A and B are shown apart, each in its own frame.
Chain A
Amino acid sequence: DAGITQSPRHKVTETGTPVTLRCHQTENHRYMYWYRQDPGHGLRLIHYSYGVKDTDKGEVSDGYSVSRSKTEDFLLTLESATSSQTSVYFCAISDPGSRNTEAFFGQGTRLTVV
């Protein structure tokens, strides 16, 4: 299995509070992604990173920010959590230098905003 770890695995938080999810990889892959999974929508890209301090928005980036200060860590922050951000969040990594490499996924974080 690819070395990718998400923390925490589960979190319940109150509306309006800040939340940070962490993705840690040991594969030295250049690209890292944050997705959210909701019923009927599949996985939707929130933000991605193509290198240290290089990030870009995905299709559902409103209300989220990211940071990548080291190759191995990619943080997703909800500045002020809302109930619509209740979801399962997945981190993924990939290495575009290898054309045959798919994305590897973490185990997911279930976030509940009450």
Chain B
Amino acid sequence: AQTVTQSQPEMSVQEAETVTLSCTYDTSESDYYLFWYKQPPSRQMILVIRQEAYKQQNATENRFSVNFQKAAKSFSLKISDSQLGDAAMYFCAYRSLEYGNKLVFGAGTILRVKS
């Protein structure tokens, strides 16, 4: 079974600085998707960025980028120029393309942004 591990329960960053959230996963599949979701206090689940495993190029969405290391099964999220609105819980997620297209989540990282 696939597992996702987020080893940082909490992280803090100064406004305008850069922070990296870590995520590792375990799978025997060769093709899959990886995601980072943001959950603000409203509980809404918001997609931040996605990565297709067959693409070597790291995904980027404005201030958000990933470092995808397929061999190491690592998928970290870098947030540049952090803003107060980035404060939230961040979840790393793995989507299987074989077993019911299930999304498996990590335990989450709380990101605090200091002004």
One of A33, A96, A107 near B44 (C-beta < 8 A): A107
A82 to B9, CA, bound (A): 28
Evaluate whether A58 and B102 lie within 8 angstroms (CB atoms) in the complex, with A90-B45, A100-B50, A102-B50 already known. yes
Chain A interface size range: 20 to 34
Encode contact with B along A38-59: 1 for CB under 8 Å, 0 otherwise: 0011111100101000001011
Interface of A is mostly: strand
A58 to B1, CA, bound (A): 11
Tell which of B6, B100, B107 has the most Cβ of chain A within 10 Å. B100
Evaluate whether A105 and B105 lie within 8 angstroms (CB atoms) in the complex, with A31-B100, A42-B91, A48-B100 already known. no
Contact B105 A43 (CB under 8 A): yes
One of B33, B43, B105 near A88 (C-beta < 8 A): B43
A43 to B76, CA, bound (A): 19
A90 to B89, CA, bound (A): 15
Binding site for B on A (CB under 8 A): 31, 33, 35, 40-45, 48, 50, 56, 58-59, 88, 90, 92, 94, 96, 99-100, 102-103, 105, 107-108
